[in-house]
Amino acid sequence: MRSKILLYLVDLTHTGPVISSDVFPYGVAMVGAYLKAHHADEVEIEIFKFPNDLSAALEKRRPDIIGFSNYSWNFYLSYDFAERIKKRFPETVIVFGGPNYGLSSLEKERFWKEYKKIDFYIVGEGEVSFTKLFLKLKDYSFNVSALKSAGEVLGSCDYLYEDKIICNELTPRVKSLTELPSPYLLGLMDKFWDTSLIPLIATTRGCPFTCAMCSEGASYYNKVVHNELFFQELAYIANHVKNTTILNLSDANFGMYRQDIDKAKVIAQFQLSHGYPKSLLTATGKNQKEKVIEVASLLNGAMVVFASLQSTDEEVLENIKRSNIKIESLKGVADATKIQDSTTVTELILGLPGDTIEKHKKSLKDTVDAGLGVVRMYQLIMLFQSELNTPENREKYKMETLYRIMPRSFGKYELFNEEFISVESEEICIATKSMPYKDHLDCREIDLVVEILHNGSPFLEYWYICDWLGYSWFDFLMQIYEQRNKFSPELKKLFDGFREDNKTGYWKSYQELKKHVTIEFDKLINNSDGTNEMSKAKAKAFFLCRDELHSLMKEQMQILLKKQNVWDQIFELFLDELDEFIRIRKTNVLNYEEVYKKVFNFDFAALINIKKGTDPRKSKLSQPLEFEFYFDEKQIEIYQSYTRIYGKDSIDALGRLLMRTRMTDMFRKVRVSGHADGKKNAKVSDSPETNMETYYSYS
């Protein structure tokens, strides 16, 4: 007879094509840490992330309770396991918890009608509520029926009893994260150090904003609480991490609070002492941009600064309960982060209530021309616990939706000698009363142009020419898009394929999607392109259509220069050499040991170093110089860290690499290696404003 109660706490990730969710199972581990800290003598807790590990454990021992995290990227996988566990072990208590659960009574009715193998659902914060449920279950000898029939009040816990949904009042949130013990410091995460997973940690919990499209927009999450154990946890992580240089913070607004400055200083100390983290993944503050800039300045270029703009149209923002963020203030953030060698990412969402093709293009133009860094263009996903997902808003805005395979979130698994296929979906809004379906598809193509030609600054030199001409960079991109039907065969095929993917990769229901995946599983699992339309197309453009893409950009820039009446022989030579210069930086980027040398007549660094508005032709050198193109040690280390996680042998892996990394880290840096006559240590004497030690690490 076991002396302790056995609990399995599970945050599953799909492992079909690749590992889908690549972070430590922090949420369920927090629940486990609280329970262990208060009842260590009574419980034995195991944390799981990978399906195969869970299957192996279930073959050996039956848990008294198994708790599953429920996110959009793992619900069906978790429930597929739960069904089989309940069939084999009817007495095992199955508990789910997480944000992927409805707000309205109608949503909850649908949930419990469909997923009856779940015994209890923890709503909101889980640590205290799960522990209280555990104690109640213990009182009833883990007899679920007896507990339910007794009518006990279970805070923050919903369940089904005699076909009636019982919803209890939410337990008050913790006042400080310091009340919650750390799963790292308790050793609950130690089994994951040998994996490729990225450590995940929270320095705050909650969000003061009420965005209608976000699951944290509810008033329940409005109060923000802080984690005073962060410094100890970071030390533990830095001393144990093995296979990644990345740290992920789950904060909703990192950098927005005064305490974040002290946190950034501590992170910087560990960067110096441990070389970790080199990359910090987090959502940065939506307000208090001065603090965000200060935090970014302390982190040695490790942190990406996010600007959650969503749209620049006031009507659209009003519909989602967002206040208008001034472009001018965001531009100041972007300019500051460039100086600090950080990256800015601006987020837009296509298809929000009130959005139109004209408004979406205006939002793109506003963000691109303001230089707000990478523009992440998302489709509107109907998230549970978000206000936009309620039946009332669906009807109000005439939202039409379809289901697609969540990228990389499917696979074939085995439990109790039974194989089964599991797949996650995203419900995408593809039309509203203000945006017809065709306009949605057109917007997706425009987004692809921005993704390929703008994001990551692959053609920054051309952008600077546009700036000198006083010509909108976004208008130049649209000039290219308008030639879409005249693209080279390979590029036309890429864009046609992208549009087709956006039409055929969607289904009317999850059931239709699941049927398709089941029938076509072998084809899907062996398709190295993956199922993410945007990253797949970007990877193909960058790795398979690179020459065609560069030729297109050069051709369109020549057309623009002629239209602006500045074309001459010097510009012809300049453009020829610039085209070659840009190509070399992106040549054979997967071989970071390769070094190239080439002689040029222009100081192309001058395009970004001399005062804006200066004629690019003034960068012509008095004598040709030889330039060396290479990757430095920092780039190589970052590259190796990401390829350990994502791989590099498929279009899907390369697309993920391009989307997750700072793209300029994949371009060769440049330095002067000598005169064209072979002399070394050459200096540029005729371009005094130019700093030739600039390594083109702009973003």
- The string of pLDDT tens digits covering residues 612-671 is 678 899 889 999 999 999 999 888 888 888 888 778 888 988 888 888 888 888 899 999
Q: Report pTM.
A: 0.87
343 versus 418: which is more confidently predicted? 418
Q: Are strands 418-431 and 400-415 parallel, antiparallel or unpaired?
A: antiparallel
Range in 292-296, 459-463, 687-691 the model is least confident about:
687-691
Predicted local distance difference test score (pLDDT) of residue 638:
82
Judged against a pLDDT cut of 50, whether residue 690 lies above it is answered with no
Q: Is residue 13 part of a domain?
A: yes
DSSP of 343-368? EEEEEEEET-TT--HHHHHHHHHHHH
Judged against a pLDDT cut of 90, whether residue 440 lies above it is answered with yes
Range of 113's domain? 5-167
* pLDDT-based confidence at residue 683 (cuts at 50, 70, 90): very low
Tokens encoding 303: 């942190």
Predicted local distance difference test score (pLDDT) of residue 137:
96
Distance in angstroms (rounded) separating the CA atoms of residues 114 and 79: 11
Mean pLDDT (whole number) for 99-125: 91
pLDDT, averaged across the chain: 89
Predicted local distance difference test score (pLDDT) of residue 561:
97
Range in 39-53, 246-260, 317-331, 559-573 the model is least confident about:
317-331
547 versus 391: which is more confidently predicted? 547
Predicted local distance difference test score (pLDDT) of residue 631:
93
Structure letter (DSSP) for residue 326 = P
Judged against a pLDDT cut of 70, whether residue 503 lies above it is answered with yes
Predicted local distance difference test score (pLDDT) of residue 89:
98
Distance in angstroms (rounded) separating the CA atoms of residues 626 and 1: 77
- Quick check: helix, strand or coil at residue 688? coil
Helix 437-453 to helix 473-481 angle (10° resolution) is 120
User: Order of strands, edge to edge, in the sheet holding 400-415?
Assistant: 418-431, 400-415, 506-507
Residue-wise pLDDT for 522-558, tens only, equals 999 998 888 889 999 999 999 999 999 999 999 999 9
Predicted local distance difference test score (pLDDT) of residue 133:
96
Give the contacts of 227 (CB within 8 A, at least 6 positions apart).
176, 177, 178, 201, 202, 203, 204, 205, 233
* pLDDT-based confidence at residue 699 (cuts at 50, 70, 90): very low
Q: Is residue 75 part of a domain?
A: yes
605 versus 521: which is more confidently predicted? 521
Distance in angstroms (rounded) separating the CA atoms of residues 78 and 520: 22
Q: Is residue 455 part of a domain?
A: no
* pLDDT-based confidence at residue 497 (cuts at 50, 70, 90): very high
- Quick check: helix, strand or coil at residue 378? strand
Predicted local distance difference test score (pLDDT) of residue 689:
35
Q: Is residue 254 part of a domain?
A: no
* pLDDT-based confidence at residue 177 (cuts at 50, 70, 90): confident
Name the amino acid, one letter, at 277: P
Judged against a pLDDT cut of 60, whether residue 476 lies above it is answered with yes
CATH code of residue 42: 3.40.50.280
Give the chain's domain count. Answer: 1
Range in 53-67, 388-402, 431-445, 643-657 the model is least confident about:
643-657
Tokens encoding 384: 């549970």
Q: CB-based burial of residue 49 (10 Å sphere; 0-12 exposed, 13-18 middle, 19+ buried)?
A: buried
Mean pLDDT (whole number) for 207-211: 64
Q: Is residue 26 part of a domain?
A: yes
Mean pLDDT (whole number) for 226-244: 91
Predicted local distance difference test score (pLDDT) of residue 350:
97
Give the contacts of 562 (CB within 8 A, at least 6 positions apart).
none
Q: Do residues 251 and 224 touch, judged by C-beta distance below 8 A? A: no
Judged against a pLDDT cut of 70, whether residue 411 lies above it is answered with yes
* pLDDT-based confidence at residue 286 (cuts at 50, 70, 90): low
Mean pLDDT (whole number) for 85-95: 98
Q: Is residue 237 part of a domain?
A: no
Q: Is residue 146 part of a domain?
A: yes
Predicted local distance difference test score (pLDDT) of residue 513:
97
Q: Is residue 540 part of a domain?
A: no
Of the chain, the percentage scoring pLDDT greater than 90 comes to 65
Distance in angstroms (rounded) separating the CA atoms of residues 425 and 403: 6
* pLDDT-based confidence at residue 559 (cuts at 50, 70, 90): very high
Of the chain, the percentage scoring pLDDT greater than 70 comes to 90
Mean pLDDT (whole number) for 449-476: 95
Predicted local distance difference test score (pLDDT) of residue 695:
35
H runs (alpha helix) in 403-530: 437-453, 460-469, 473-481, 489-504, 510-519, 521-525
Tokens encoding 556: 């369109």
Predicted local distance difference test score (pLDDT) of residue 306:
79
For residue 30, count other CB atoms closer than 10 A to its CB. Answer: 23
Distance in angstroms (rounded) separating the CA atoms of residues 681 and 122: 66
* pLDDT-based confidence at residue 608 (cuts at 50, 70, 90): low
Judged against a pLDDT cut of 80, whether residue 210 lies above it is answered with no
